Structure 1
Amino acid sequence: MKLATSAQMQALDQTTIRETGVPGVVLMENAGRGTVNHMVQEFGPVRGKTVLIFIGPGNNGGDGLVIARHTLQQGGFPFIVSLVHLEKLQGDAAINADICQNLQIPYILCLNNDDIDILKKKIPSLNFAHPVHCIVDALFGTGLRRNIEHRFATIVELINNLSTNQHWPVIAVDIPSGLCSDTGQTLGCSVQANLTVTYGLPKPGHYTHGGPSIGKLAVVDIGIAGASINKMSLQGKVLDKDLKKTMLPRSRKGHKGSFGHLLVLAGSEGKTGAAILCGQAALHSGSGLVTLAVPKNLNPVFESALPEAMTVPLQKSVHYCIDSDYDLILKLLTNKGGLVLGPGLGTNSRTATLVKKLYCRVSQPVVVDADALNILSESPETLLQPGGDRILTPHPGEMARLFQTSTTAIQRDRVKAAAWLNKKCILNDQEIITVLKGAGTVVCSSKGKWAINSSGNSGMATGGMGDVLAGLIGGLLVQGYDPLDAAELGVYLHGLSADIVAGKSPFGYLASDVARQLPAAIKDLQQHNAFLGND
């Protein structure tokens, strides 16, 4: 599914109004009605129950007023808490305010702390008369750019406390108030929703830092014309089960030579585990053959740990890989579909020389991870001189080192950070893809496309997960996926595999558990897809 920034969504609304003649008040009506439908679907009928609806200025408040009216129509008892004088609302929101007043839907103004104290005393009586069904957060929408403060912050705190103490579900209109829809950053404080109903298209903030505040996400079609979406050529999307469409068929007559051969250059003394995890994931991805090029003294470790993989001891590399084995590595790359470079490699100066040579000279696609990224951070000019397509897989700390900034700065706007190459000139039109790992992993291509992942869970916050991801992406590369598809599919399958594991143990599982579950994740994704060909 496509993703839209706040500005893009606003432009889509205006385009629909201008080009199709659908007035904004109709779009607002569709939004409010769709929200009530999801409320009922998730939490049961509203008939005979109170729905507390908190509204603020702007169209988000207007959506809340539509929700109040549809709640009334379904036999519920809407109670509006307005943080703005209703007569100060404008446009479509003002139209719905007039309708609500004509219908004599009860409301209270909360313009100061005294008003809020009155509200706190009134809520128990509302609940006694008609049990509270849910709380609707229609305070601020996707246009919020400044911190929530003062009485608005007090109201957000009240909503969260009522939800926690009374176990009343919270439904957020478009996005929980206090979250930046473009970055997911909390602007001072934010509502913690159980269900977020967004309109038209999801926003980046729904999948980045906003995850815990979002709850379940539902998307309502409010009547935005598909032609308008196509005309805008949106570059962002969410990685979800639609990725099954990108999965390549596997011939029933295929053999191990049919599904690619990956070379992994990884491991050093004390860091053999990273290379082993990388190799395991590559094998479980469905690649036909995997070869590990490793320091010769460590070869016995790899031979016993990964019997399904081939290993090549690098004769001049004893405890870590060095540039003296560059020619041998180039020879090993013959007939290989790709290279994974970096897991557990170490940062010795001679290893660094080798990494930079391979990055700039190897024509096959290369997944660049871990220590290889740390090496490149010491000579950032090298990043713009790839010998072929490259997939960089940094976590926020590695990304910060690459650009001599702080992890906080990277996390502040993850999409912007991952899109660092969008305006750079890459030699020979090579593609560099950045996979910024973390909750809501971001995948960005130097050619402008970007995506945010929807799979995965907090149990993945443990060592070795990045090594598994690097091997998985490498394994997909050699099976014939183009680099961007390999990166996107790899990221989603990585998270999906962890979600399968978390179904039994929400945390405490290992990176190797995720690698072993990759075949199950692939099966899950391709359930409704003709993954196996008939040839």
Structure 2
Amino acid sequence: MEKINKNVLNHVITQRNPQSYKGNYGKILIIAGSTHFGGAAILCSSAAIHSGAGLVTLATTPEKFTAVNVQIPEAMTIDYSQKNELAQAIKSNDVIAIGPGLGTSSIAKGVVKAALNLTTENQTLILDASALTIIAEQQLALETKANIIMTPHQGEWQRLSHLPIHEQNEKNNREQLQKLNPNAVLILKKHLSEIYYQNQTFQIQAGNPGMATGGMGDTLTGIMAGFVGQFGYSLETVSAALLIHSLIADKLYKENYVVLPSKIITKLPKYMKKFSQTK
């Protein structure tokens, strides 16, 4: 299992072209949130914005629009129960991240199926949280032509792969990923999180127990979406997104008993600036 080197951050996070405009840095659609889990949608969208995504649209339940507009005015909002509007948004964005706080309602199941059915080879689909639960429960095939990134914690991976946590070793994880989709990327969130892609396996040497708090995975999904949107889909980009999330958390943990996801988000622009200038 290969260790992810910090140099990946210098390679991926580049200085911006002086002639830039928002269209250069990716169009991101976050499909997230529900009546009881609006915070997940806000954290995910905020992370995408703070990590540099050019345009971020949040598809969520309308009752959360006011909270979103107040906390992250940079994000646009649409109602994910409006099928035609959602379908158009799925087709017109570069990266679609689906699942944080989505729940498993009939509407949620419908939007997950729409994301799988409507995405194409020119897009990246990030599947997290509730989306993975729905895929497991509904036994949905991962047959989209889009680039797939899955970000389960070990319990979610157990439901999807049918591997008990004690059997989630490198060999078994790789075999089950091949069965689900041989071209997908798996990010297994755990102590020293791992990345699986075809016959390659990587591990980060970062992270701490202060990160064991709600919203941490939602934040990672948003960072992942923002990074892929602006730096392109690649194993390096995925590795950089996973690593910077934990590295910032480690810095915060030195002086804080608990690391809040919102604090990681606010530090993203500063750390990205630092790595973009260190070559």
- On whether the aligned pair clears a TM of 0.5, the verdict is yes
Q: 2:103 aligns with which of 346, 360, 365?
A: 346
Gaps (5+ residues) in structure 2? none
What is the SS of the residue equivalent to 2:48? helix
How much has 1:377 moved relative to structure 2? 0.9
Aligned to 1:390: 148
Residues 1:440 and 2:205 aligned together: no
Aligned to 1:369: 128
What is the SS of the residue equivalent to 1:308? coil
CA contact (8 A) 2:151 2:188 kept: yes
C-alpha distance in 1, partners of 2:91/2:109? Answer: 22
CA contact (8 A) 2:15 2:277 kept: no
Structure 1 residues 418 and 527, CA, compared in 2 at 3 Å: closer, same or farther? Answer: farther
Q: Give the TM-score taking structure 1 as reference length.
A: 0.49
What is the SS of the residue equivalent to 1:360? helix
C-alpha distance in 2, partners of 1:342/1:263? Answer: 12
What is the SS of the residue equivalent to 1:367? strand
CA contact (8 A) 2:135 2:141 kept: yes
Q: 2:259 aligns with which of 495, 499, 509?
A: 509
CA contact (8 A) 1:418 1:435 kept: no
How much has 1:286 moved relative to structure 2? 1.0
CA contact (8 A) 1:248 1:481 kept: no
C-alpha distance in 1, partners of 2:45/2:125? Answer: 15
Counterparts in 2 of 1:47-86, with a 5 A limit?
A: none
C-alpha distance in 2, partners of 1:425/1:343? Answer: 21
Alpha-carbon RMSD across the aligned residues, in angstroms, is: 2.0
What is the SS of the residue equivalent to 2:141? helix
Q: 1:256 aligns with which of 22, 41, 49?
A: 22
C-alpha distance in 1, partners of 2:19/2:68? Answer: 31
Gaps (5+ residues) in structure 1? 1-203, 205-236, 318-324, 530-535
Counterparts in 2 of 1:35-434, with a 5 A limit?
A: 204=1, 237-243=2-8, 244-314=10-80, 317=81, 325-363=82-120, 364-383=123-142, 385-410=143-168, 413=169, 415-421=170-176, 423-424=178-179, 426=181, 431-434=183-186
C-alpha distance in 1, partners of 2:172/2:234? Answer: 20
C-alpha distance in 2, partners of 1:420/1:467? Answer: 26
2:175 counterpart letter in structure 1? W
Rg (Cα) greater in structure = 1
How much has 1:527 moved relative to structure 2? 4.2
Q: Deviations over 1:1-35 (max 9, x none)?
A: xxxxxxxxxxxxxxxxxxxxxxxxxxxxxxxxxxx
Q: 1:466 aligns with which of 196, 213, 217?
A: 217
C-alpha distance in 2, partners of 1:521/1:497? Answer: 8
Structure 1 residues 356 and 313, CA, compared in 2 at 3 Å: closer, same or farther? Answer: closer
Q: Return 263-272 or 360-369, whichever deviates more.
A: 360-369
How much has 1:423 moved relative to structure 2? 4.2
Q: Deviations over 1:462-503 (max 9, x none)?
A: 111000000000011111321423321110011111122123
Q: Return 270-279 or 475-484, whichever deviates more.
A: 475-484
How much has 1:417 moved relative to structure 2? 4.5
1:511 counterpart letter in structure 2? P
CA contact (8 A) 1:501 1:517 kept: no
Residues 1:449 and 2:203 aligned together: no
2:240 counterpart letter in structure 1? L
C-alpha distance in 2, partners of 1:340/1:518? Answer: 19
C-alpha distance in 2, partners of 1:417/1:304? Answer: 45
How much has 1:381 moved relative to structure 2? 4.9
How much has 1:397 moved relative to structure 2? 0.6
How much has 1:357 moved relative to structure 2? 3.0
CA contact (8 A) 2:95 2:229 kept: yes
CA contact (8 A) 2:90 2:118 kept: no
Aligned to 2:268: 518
Q: Kindly indicate whether structure 1 or structure 2 has the higher relative contact order, using CA contacts under 8 Å at least 6 residues apart.
A: 2
1:435 counterpart letter in structure 2? I
C-alpha distance in 2, partners of 1:245/1:395? Answer: 27
CA contact (8 A) 2:90 2:115 kept: no
CA contact (8 A) 1:265 1:294 kept: yes
C-alpha distance in 2, partners of 1:241/1:386? Answer: 32
How much has 1:276 moved relative to structure 2? 0.4
C-alpha distance in 2, partners of 1:247/1:431? Answer: 24
C-alpha distance in 2, partners of 1:239/1:292? Answer: 31
Structure 1 residues 381 and 352, CA, compared in 2 at 3 Å: closer, same or farther? Answer: closer
Percent identical:
32
What is the SS of the residue equivalent to 1:434? strand
How much has 1:508 moved relative to structure 2? 1.6
CA contact (8 A) 2:99 2:132 kept: yes
Q: Deviations over 1:221-253 (max 9, x none)?
A: xxxxxxxxxxxxxxxx21121202233442122
Query: How many matched pairs?
Result: 276
